[in-house]
Structure 1
Amino acid sequence: MAASATLFGLMAIGIRYASKQQHPFEIAFFRCLFGALFALPLLRVHGLEILRTRRIGFYIARCAIGIVSMLCGFWALVHLPLAQAVALSYSTPMFVTIGAVIALGEVVRMRRWSAVVIGFIGVIVIVRPTAADFSSATLVALLAAALSGMVTISIKYLARTDPPDRIILLTTLLWVPLSLPAALTVWQWPDAEIWPWLILSGALGTGGHYCWTRALKMAEASALAPLSYLQLLVVGFLAWALFGESVDRYTVIGAAIVISASLYIARREAQVAKAALVGKGETQL
């Protein structure tokens, strides 16, 4: 998980460098294209059988939502301070909680709802909608987080029957054609110095996704969640060192609130899941 967070943080830096010439939509397409190429070795490991699924329609739907989330997220990374854009992305667990109630019928009690409300208070602190320097790009970042929550819910659904490598490979392959239409509306061939950043973004994105799915297979999400926030430290330091971006106190305070709420939600979900397993075992006995 630490490797995943670091790779995703470095990907954000690569996106910022590529954005010196390329539109975020085009960067997203090349991230998907090169990301798919770096995922192809999974075919050698598993063979073509890994591509076989009875849920291809569901994959297409979730990938379409994921592409819109990616486009919004890349737009935010280009138009907001990097640390602020990443901090807002941490509101995803709040949207996941809401989506789990609606889509999966999960029962969420008062303590988790309280954490969701507190988390959104942290989002308001980061965004500061009444401030003079308020940017509509923050709303785009929040839309990306909300859609990412929908994608997370879909992964939980798919993981019931499909192995992680199938989810990774089918997702990365479907992202390529789904991301192309938006890229064509702003198409401009990259100059030679931009290509390394586009290729690197694809490699880092796929590497981060691979490490993330492997981490979730090896340990509980609640135990891994604190390490995922390493991404904010990586991005914050490199944004300061490379681009001279500073992190204001509102982003720090808001991010602390959002991260605390997200960690509590992850912990409560783990406790509820463990209690459900214990109850199921006692019923079987």
Structure 2
Amino acid sequence: MADNRQFLHGLAWMALAMGSFIGMSVGSRELAATLSIRQVLFFRALVGLFVILAVGRSLWPEVRRAAQIRLHLWRNLIHFTAQYFWTIGVVLLPLASVFALEFTMPIWVTLFAWLLLKERLTGPRLLATAGGFLGVQVIVRPGIAMVDPAAALVLIAAAGYGLSMILVKRLTRHASPGAIVVWMILIQLPLGLAAALTDWRPVSIADIPWMLLAGLGALSAHYGMAQALRRLDASILIPVDFLRVPLAALVGFAFYAEAIDLWVFLGGAIILLSNFQAVLAERRRMGR
């Protein structure tokens, strides 16, 4: 029963992370209309700093110990570079296409989880990953139009995110999710500031709501992801995260009039059914 409850809690945290990632992408796109992408990364981290200063005092004793600091540094250098490329994609490509391209990440996650974490490659996990990837291809139907420099950057970002997620999984063995997020802010804020100063543009009051959406979305997305990874294997969670693609397509349609058609719902159904089968199989395994 305890394992079953932990499984459901992991899925709930993953749902929070998915919604937060979409909110972050909308806030980042709106900010990039007036600010540079480097400023977007800086202000996302700056909002996160104010949040952890306000509510994260209990985490400071753990953070001051600086345990696994080298792993924190590597994880955040990789993640910062990946999110820079990803944000370029968010600005230049339809949201559904960005998330679809990002979901080449399960290939990397599965590889890194096997190599670095020694996770088992069970049949249900491989099937869910394959089904999710198939659903993504149905949604975007990639062809010559997808051969775009921005699309290539998103693919590079996907590999970086995959490695970053595995490093987060390793960090959760000895660090709390809250401390992982605090270190993310402390490391990426100066990186973002240094980058933003090379391409600084005027900031207006109208930018503040989008800063808050992007910053709070980033913070809650990574906290939710760390909480989910603490409870479940990465190779379980990534196939579930495929659902972000049809959700992003709906948001793109509602806010940006991005085209949406039957293929989006067909691909979403494939993703949902493959994940549903994998979830049932994993629950049966954990309930033994």
Q: Secondary structure at the match of 2:204?
A: coil
Q: Which residues in structure 2 correspond to 1:1-285 (within 5 Å)?
A: 1=13, 2-106=15-119, 108=121, 130-132=143-145, 134-217=147-230, 228=241, 231-247=244-260
1:141-164: CA deviations, max 9, x gaps? Answer: 121111111011101111111122
The structural deviation recorded for 1:9 is 1.4
Tell me the distance in 2 between the aligned counterparts of 1:153 and 1:218.
14
Q: 1 CA distance for matches of 2:49 and 2:58?
A: 15
TM-score, normalised relative to structure 2: 0.77
Report the Cα distance in structure 2 between the residues aligned to 1:189 and 1:64, rounded to whole angstroms: 27
Query: CA offset at residue 201 of structure 1?
Result: 1.1
Shift of 1:111: 7.4
Cα pair distance change 1:249/1:146, threshold 3 Å: farther
Secondary structure at the counterpart of residue 56 of structure 2: helix
CA contact (8 A) 2:47 2:215 kept: yes
Checking the alignment, whether the CA contact within 8 Å between 1:5 and 1:208 is kept in structure 2 is yes
Match of 2:8 in 1: none
My pick for the range that moved more, 201-210 or 40-49, is: 40-49
Q: Using the alignment, how far apart are the partners of 1:6 and 1:44 within structure 2?
A: 26
The Cα shift of 1:192 comes to: 2.6
Q: TM-score under structure 1 normalisation?
A: 0.78
8 Å CA contact 1:81–1:245 kept in 2: the answer is yes
- 1:83 partner amino acid: A
5+ residue gaps in structure 1?
Answer: 279-285
User: What CA distance in whole angstroms lies between the structure 2 residues aligned with 1:217 and 1:24?
Assistant: 31
The aligned amino acid for 1:91 is: T
Question: Does structure 2 conserve the Cα–Cα contact (< 8 Å) formed by 1:87 and 1:255?
Answer: no
Shift of 1:60: 0.7
Distance 1:237 1:142 in 2: 22
User: Aligned in 2, Cα 1:59/1:265: closer, same or farther, shift over 3 Å?
Assistant: farther
Structure 1 pair 252–74 and aligned structure 2 pair: CA distance change class (3 A):
farther
Tell me how far apart the structure 2 counterparts of residues 255 and 229 of structure 1 sit (CA, whole Å): 9
With over 3 angstroms needed to count, the CA separation of the structure-2 counterparts of 1:173 and 1:135, relative to structure 1, is same
Structure 1 residue 233, shift from structure 2 partner: 4.6
RMSD over aligned Cα, in angstroms? 3.6
Q: Are the equivalent residues in 2 in contact too, given 1:51–1:170 (CA < 8 A)?
A: no
TM-fit CA distance, 1:67: 0.1
Change (3 A) 1:263 1:146: farther
The alpha-carbon distance between structure 1 residues 226 and 113, as it changes in their structure 2 partners (threshold 3 A), is closer
- Aligned-pair distance for 1:33? 1.6
User: What letter matches 2:114 in structure 1?
Assistant: V
Moved more, 65-74 or 34-43: 34-43
Q: CA 1:46–1:117 in 2, change beyond 3 Å: closer, same or farther?
A: closer
Instruction: After superposition, give the CA deviation of every residue in 1:82-109 in whole Å (9 maximum; x if it has no partner).
Output: 1211222233222100112333344547
Deviation per residue, 1:21-72 (Å, 9 max, x gap): 1122221121112122212234323343333233111111110001011111
**Amino acid corresponding to residue 242 of structure 1 in structure 2:** F
**Separation (CA, whole Å) in 1 of partners of 2:28 and 2:254:** 16
Query: Could you tell me which amino acid in structure 2 is paired with residue 46 of structure 1?
Result: L
